[in-house]
Amino acid sequence: MISATTILNEFVTRITDAGRSLTGTVQTIHIDTETLCDYLVSEKGEATGVAIAHEVLNRYKALDEQGKYAFFLMLLNNFGSDSKQVEAAFKLWKQQSASSGRAIHLATEPKSMELIRRLNRVKGATSQIVEIRNDLLNFLKKDPNLKPLDNDFKHILSSWFNRGFLELESITWSTSAEILERIIKYEAVHEIQGWDDLRRRVIEKDRRLYAYFHPAMPNEPLIFVEVALVEGIPSSIEPILSASREPIDPDKANTATFYSISNCQPGLRGISFGNFMIKKAVMELQREYPSIKTFVTLSPVPGLRSWAESEISKPSGLLNDSQLMYLKNLNATNKLPSNKDENILLREITAKYLVQARTEKDKIIDPVARFHLGNGACLKHIHANANTNQEGLWSAWGMMVNYDYKLKDIEKNHEAFVNKHEVIHSSDVQALLKKGFKNV
């Protein structure tokens, strides 16, 4: 009877032969994926490793939902830290060896992390691993026990996608059609209505579009920002997106408005590089147009309506009686503010949501606000009737806000937000937070 070791050795020989070119298919025999993963983590040969990694990735790609979930459970349960190595490292630590701390660090690393590294030996595997993590994040919603495994993926991807590896590129009409198609597909804030709309956003002289790329994924934008060069701080998105607007001379612009920021890779969620992109874009714009001194966003408030509805059903005490009554009427009629008093009320409510509404861990609720404030911006202005398209009306009754990026204040604001949970905001926003404020 042939032993399991003999079967595995035979399989490895055959897959290695195929792996020298990685062009043909391999007639696999019945070696389970867990055994292949275990062999991949422990093997030393480069050619063998590439071939087996290729096979594991192909097998994963062919799995259905149940099979993928089982794959993640296998990694979670069977590819953790080696208890014997951990025990030996702690014994060394007790002996107070100079290298004992490093030995503990190496010994406690889960085998799943080394597996991810070795899977990445295959050409083009980085994007596949990002997709695998996206699958994992979807399963994590149903099974929180997978969180330690996601931490492994996040740790590895954070090192691969750090700022030193990212390249900021200006997207123009001469950029490859493949990348331009992806820009249309990935736009998550203001939908691009076909090629003519995209052309206006990248070719007109007062528009810019910047994207971050990684060398391992040269045709896949990671995140991109769309910029309008304008005179004055904008209070509505319609003039920026209008197909009939007249472009202005960029040399006459005094403000750069970041009006859309889209993360393109769900599998990189939680790995922050948007702040680096904004800072780099600001530097590029300052170099090209020294007359531009103001750098702001025109951002949506996607969580406003859901929070307001929760306040109606279970008030937290943040809103006064007139604000709550207005919200109840607004929720019933879904009409935009029609006069100055209603405009002010909704702006007051939005200010309280963005600055004072918190989770149990004292973190602000709105995801866009967390992004910009975490990047060191200041909450500058709050605008009513600023976005009247369907999504803007549904999520936030047309409310939009400006976040102000001043390079000299970014680090200070970032530290205040991250360490003290402070929302740095302007005097205009502070005025809206005061009960009974009556002036715009």
Output the pLDDT for position 99.
57
Output the pLDDT for position 45.
64
Residue by residue, DSSP assigns 325-337 as HHHHHHHHH-PPP
The segment(s) of the chain belonging to CATH 3.40.630.180 are 163-297
The class of domain 4-160 in CATH terms is mainly alpha
Output the pLDDT for position 15.
53
Output the pLDDT for position 23.
38
- 374 close to 342: Cβ distance less than 8 angstroms: no
Q: Which two tokens stand for residue 257?
A: 């408005």
How far the first Cα of the chain sits from its last, in Å, is: 86
The segment(s) of the chain belonging to CATH 3.40.630.150 are 300-433
| Residue 275: closest CA among 168, 199, 171, 362 | 168
Cβ-based neighbours of 131, under 8 Å, separated by 6 or more: 267
Strand partners of residue 379: 403, 425
CA distances from 108 to 72, 84, 114 (A): 19, 10, 12
Strand partners of residue 295: 256
Residue with tokens 């149940």: 66
Residue type (1 letter), 113: M
Among left, alpha and beta (phi > 0; psi -120 to 50; other), residue 35 is alpha
Output the pLDDT for position 10.
57
- 282 close to 147: Cβ distance less than 8 angstroms: no
Report the predicted TM-score, pTM, of the whole model to 2 decimal places: 0.84
| Residue 424: closest CA among 435, 415, 436 | 415
- Decide yes or no: CATH 3.40.630.180 for domain 163-297: yes
Q: Which strand (E) or helix (H) includes residue 300?
A: strand 299-300
Output the pLDDT for position 341.
84
Cα Rg of the chain, angstroms: 26
- 239 close to 168: Cβ distance less than 8 angstroms: no
CA distances from 414 to 126, 143, 299 (A): 30, 33, 18
Number of C-beta neighbours around residue 418 at 10 A: 12
Output the pLDDT for position 2.
46
As to burial, measured by CB atoms within 10 angstroms (0-12 exposed, 13-18 middle, 19+ buried), residue 374 is middle
- 162 close to 156: Cβ distance less than 8 angstroms: no
Output the pLDDT for position 224.
95
Output the pLDDT for position 96.
65
Q: Which strand (E) or helix (H) includes residue 380?
A: strand 378-383
Output the pLDDT for position 352.
96
Residue with tokens 């740095």: 424
Output the pLDDT for position 82.
63
Strands (E), 215-292: 223-230, 255-263
Domain at 300-433, CATH homologous superfamily: Malonyl-CoA decarboxylase, catalytic domain (3.40.630.150)
Output the pLDDT for position 24.
40
Q: Which strand (E) or helix (H) includes residue 282?
A: helix 274-288
The segment(s) of the chain belonging to CATH 1.20.140.90 are 4-160
Output the pLDDT for position 20.
45
* Ranges of the chain with pLDDT below 50: 1-2, 4, 19-28, 436-440
**Cα–Cα distance, 58 to 153 (Å, whole number):** 19
